[in-house]
Amino acid sequence: MKQVPITRKGYDALKEELVNLKKVERPRTIRAIEEARAHGDLSENAEYDAAKERQGYIEGRINELQYKLSNADIIETNNLPKDRAVFGCIVVLENIDSGTEVTYQLVGPDESDIKEGRISVASPLGKALIGKGLGDEININAPGGKRQYELVEIR
């Protein structure tokens, strides 16, 4: 069984979603199935079909979350080194060509969200960042072409 790194915040978010699915969504869907059954003929009952489909999604997601949580390796980010990029740290990168800065937190694959500024340590940029220090240059081949960054801050 392969352990997957995750921050405490990411672990808690997955756990919260699991509790919500089990205690709120699952019972709500079971009630919807019961109500749809009460309407009679199930062969042409769209409400029943939709509720059964939702139930399948919920059960699949519950299984997925239980698997992820059982394989999670919670990495505490309180005492991270500030001299190099490691899991859980926040990095500020300067695009060498444009001079623009971007800020990312290095997280596990299950909690990455580029819109929220969280990139996976398994992504090309994440892999290139691990172990780098202030002032180091990071070169990656992105879908939009080659990119060059300088690591200007580690938090």
pLDDT of res. 134: 95
Q: What is the CATH number of domain 4-75?
A: 1.10.287.180
Dist CA 9 CA 14 (whole Å):
9
Query: What's the topology of domain 90-154?
Result: Chitinase A; domain 3 (3.10.50)
Whole-prediction pTM value? 0.83
Confidence label for 144 from pLDDT (cuts 50, 70 and 90): confident
Beta-ladder partners of 74: 6
pLDDT of res. 13: 95
pLDDT at 43 over 80: no
Residue ranges, comma separated, of all CATH 1.10.287.180 domains in the chain are 4-75
pLDDT of res. 56: 97
Dist CA 86 CA 126 (whole Å):
9
pLDDT digits (tens, 9 = 90+) for 56-83: 999 999 999 999 999 999 998 887 888 9
Asked whether the CA dihedral 112, 114, 118, 122 is positive or negative, the reply is positive
Q: Which residue has the higher pLDDT, 135 or 2?
A: 135
* Residue count of the chain: 155
pLDDT at 151 over 80: yes
Residue ranges, comma separated, of all CATH 3.10.50.30 domains in the chain are 90-154
**Section 127-149 average pLDDT:** 92
pLDDT digits (tens, 9 = 90+) for 77-115: 887 888 999 999 999 999 999 999 999 999 999 999 999
Confidence label for 1 from pLDDT (cuts 50, 70 and 90): low
**Section 39-67 average pLDDT:** 91
Stretch (H or E) spanning 28: helix 26-38
End-to-end CA distance of the chain: 31
